[in-house]
């Protein structure tokens, strides 16, 4: 909407892009965008709730507000320029992604998308957006998930993307949205363990061909960093010092025990379900890689939050609370990290 607050917000950031920042950093974001559905019924998916006549009374106007909110958030996370790479989950289809990248203020930055319709019954998928001048796509594929103990169950795929940054170094990205805790944490745990095992197998395949891989895993794992699925099945550990190139390091471990920090808040308690996990090669100070990460962050800007009248502190400004429309952003906070050339790193 020309002249809108979001459009002016975009102009501000577009004009302030720093050539120095552009040459040095690659900012990567992951964001669970909370049910980014179009308002049209898809007879092949259980999306009736998000239609005009459905329980959420999801209209095109509400859909457009949601898109502009997401555009504003991505611009704000970018600070000087929009992120180079954006992993998303809870997107319905290519239509909603096209609307986001071509008909909101981020259209100026010419994002491309990677998306595949997954077999998820509710029709929500993972996706990757990227700016081609910052990330050169080499290949991508989806890893199908199935459960031996429940063959009829269908869920989101894992998206695996390979590309180059800084015109030379290859990175491999995995975008995840693991099974929810619906039915209880313990009851649903075996499903997340299965997905963790599939991801581990894919990573082991990468390591067999490259002993010093640059792997970045992102996602909503519906588990915290110390849970079995992540710490044992996947084998992601805290960053405690220099690492072997093929180890997996969970960058969110250090934030886990802070009472007022997390990416999702439930019944007054913050949890870290959204995480970045990287191969040890990306946290080493020596080695063949030309870059390393700075640190993973939770983006917790004021406009994404509101006062929590029931519990202490703040809560997320959500799109819905049950059937009640709130007009907010998401029930998750986004996370981000930066890659930066080693030759330009002096001190962190």
For residues 193-222, average pLDDT: 96
CA nearest 169: which of 55, 292, 54, 57? 292
Number of Cβ atoms within 10 Å of the Cβ of 22: 14
Is residue 286 one of the residues assigned to a domain? yes
Confidence of residue 18 (pLDDT cuts 50, 70, 90): very low
* 103 CB neighbour count, 10 Å cutoff: 14
In a domain, 105, yes or no: yes
pLDDT in tens, 95-152: 999 999 999 999 999 999 999 999 999 999 999 999 999 999 999 999 999 999 998 8
Q: With respect to residue 106, please indicate whether it lies within any of the assigned structural domains.
A: yes
What is the pLDDT, as a whole number, of residue 17? 44
pLDDT category at 212 given cuts 50, 70, 90 is confident
Q: Which domain holds residue 245?
A: 7-12+27-337
pLDDT band at residue 24, thresholds of 50, 70 and 90? low
Is 95 part of any domain? yes
* 145 within a domain of the structure (yes/no): yes
For residue 76, give every residue at least 6 positions away whose Cβ sits within 8 Å of its Cβ, in sequence order, or none. 9, 13, 299, 301, 303
Tokens coding 172: 């491999």
Q: Is residue 22 part of a domain?
A: no
Whole-structure pTM value: 0.90
3-state secondary structure of 188: helix
* pLDDT at residue 21, as a whole number: 45
Q: Tell me, what's the pLDDT at 282?
A: 87
Is the C-alpha dihedral spanning 218, 221, 227, 228 positive or negative?
A: negative
Quote the number of domains for the chain.
1
Q: Is residue 330 part of a domain?
A: yes
* Structure token pair of residue 332: 């998750």
Q: Which of 160-164, 245-249, 290-294 has the highest mean pLDDT?
A: 160-164
CATH number at residue 298: 3.60.10.10
Q: Is 121 helix (H, G, I), strand (E, B) or coil?
A: coil
CB atoms near residue 288 (< 10 Å) = 11
Neighbours of 229 (CB within 10 A): 24
Distance, first Cα to last Cα, the chain: 40
């Amino acid at each position: 909407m020309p002249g809108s607050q979001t459009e002016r917000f975009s102009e501000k950031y577009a004009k302030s892009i720093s050539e120095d920042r552009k040459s040095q950093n690659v900012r990567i974001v992951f964001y669970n965008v909370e049910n980014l559905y179009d308002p049209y019924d898809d007879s092949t998916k259980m999306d009736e709730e998000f239609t005009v006549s459905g329980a959420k009374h999801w209209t095109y106007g509400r859909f457009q507000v949601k898109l502009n909110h997401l555009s504003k958030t991505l611009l704000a996370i970018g600070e000087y320029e929009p992120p180079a790479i954006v992993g998303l989950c809870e997107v319905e289809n290519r239509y909603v992604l096209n609307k986001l990248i071509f008909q909101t203020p981020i259209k100026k930055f010419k994002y491309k998308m990677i998306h595949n319709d997954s077999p998820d019954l509710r029709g929500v998928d993972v996706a990757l957006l990227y700016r081609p001048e910052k990330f050169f796509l080499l290949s991508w594929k989806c890893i199908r998930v199935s459960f031996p103990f429940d063959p009829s169950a269908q869920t989101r795929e894992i998206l695996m993307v390979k590309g180059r940054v800084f015109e030379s170094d290859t990175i491999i990205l995995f975008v995840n949205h693991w099974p929810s805790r619906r039915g209880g944490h313990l009851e649903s745990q075996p499903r997340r363990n299965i997905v963790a095992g599939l991801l581990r197998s894919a990573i082991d395949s990468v390591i067999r061909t490259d002993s010093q891989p640059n792997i970045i895993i992102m996602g909503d794992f519906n588990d915290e960093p110390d849970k079995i699925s992540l710490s044992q099945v996947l084998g992601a550990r805290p960053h405690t010092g220099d690492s072997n190139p093929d180890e997996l390091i969970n960058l969110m471990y250090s934030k886990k025990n802070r009472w007022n920090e997390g990416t999702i808040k439930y019944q007054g308690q913050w949890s870290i379900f959204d995480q970045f996990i990287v191969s040890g090669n990306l946290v080493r100070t020596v080695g063949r890689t030309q870059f390393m990460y700075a640190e993973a962050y939770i983006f917790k800007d004021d406009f994404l939050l509101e006062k929590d009248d029931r519990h202490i502190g703040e809560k997320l400004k959500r799109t819905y609370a049950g059937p009640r429309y709130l007009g907010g952003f998401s029930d998750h906070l986004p996370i981000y990290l930066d890659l930066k050339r080693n030759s330009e790193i002096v001190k962190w």
